[in-house]
A and B are shown apart, each in its own frame.
Chain A
Amino acid sequence: MANILLKPVELLGRSVTLFWRTFVLFTAELGSIMLLLCSTIKQLILPPFELKNTFKQVVEIGIKSLPVVLITAVFTGMVLALQSYTGFKRFNAEVMVGTVVALSITRELGPVLTGLIVAGRAGAAMAAELGTMRVTEQIDALETLATNPVKYLIVPRFIAGTIILPSLTVIADIIGIIGGFFVTVNLLGANSSVYWRRTWDYLETSDIYNGLIKACFFGASIAIISCYKGFYTSGGAEGVGKATTGAVVLSSMTILISDYFLSAWLFK
Chain B
Amino acid sequence: MIELIDLHKSFGRNQVLRGANLKVEKGESMVVIGGSGSGKSVLIKHIIGTLKPDSGSVLIDGVDIAKMSENELYETRKRFGMLFQMAALFDSMKVWENVAFALMRHGKLKEKDAKEIASEKLRMVGLMGVEDLMPSELSGGMKKRVGLARAIAHSPEILLYDEPTTGLDPIMADAINDLIIDMKQKLSVTSVAITHDMHSAYKIADRIAMLYEGRIVAAGTPDEIKNTDNAIVRQFITGSAVGPIKIEGVTA
A residues with CB within 8 A of B = 132-133, 136-138, 140-141, 143-148
Contact = CB atoms under 8 A, between A and B. Distances in A.
B77 A138 contact: no
A61 to B, nearest CB: 15
B202 interface: no
B212 to A, nearest CB: 25
A137 B147 CA distance: 12
Given A146-B78, A146-B102, A141 B90 contact: yes
Interface of B: 45, 48, 50, 70, 74-75, 77-78, 80-82, 84-86, 88-91, 101-102, 105-106, 150-151, 154, 160
Contact of A146 (B74, B84, B151): B74
A136 B86 contact: yes
Nearest to A144: B82
Contacts of B45: 140
A145 B80 CA distance: 8
Secondary structure at the B interface, as helix, strand, loop or mixed, is mixed
B84 A145 contact: no
Nearest to A137: B88
Contact of B74 (A132, A136, A140, A148): A148
Contact of B84 (A133, A137, A148): A137
Nearest to A141: B88
Given A137-B84, A137-B85, A144 B50 contact: yes
25 contacts: A136-B88, A137-B84, A137-B85, A137-B88, A138-B88, A138-B89, A138-B90, A138-B91, A140-B50, A141-B89, A141-B90, A141-B150, A143-B50, A143-B77, A144-B77, A144-B160, A145-B77, A145-B150, A145-B154, A146-B74, A146-B102, A146-B105, A147-B74, A147-B101, A147-B102
- For B48, B50, B106, the residue with the greatest tally of chain A CB atoms inside 10 Å of its CB is B50
Contacts of B151: 144
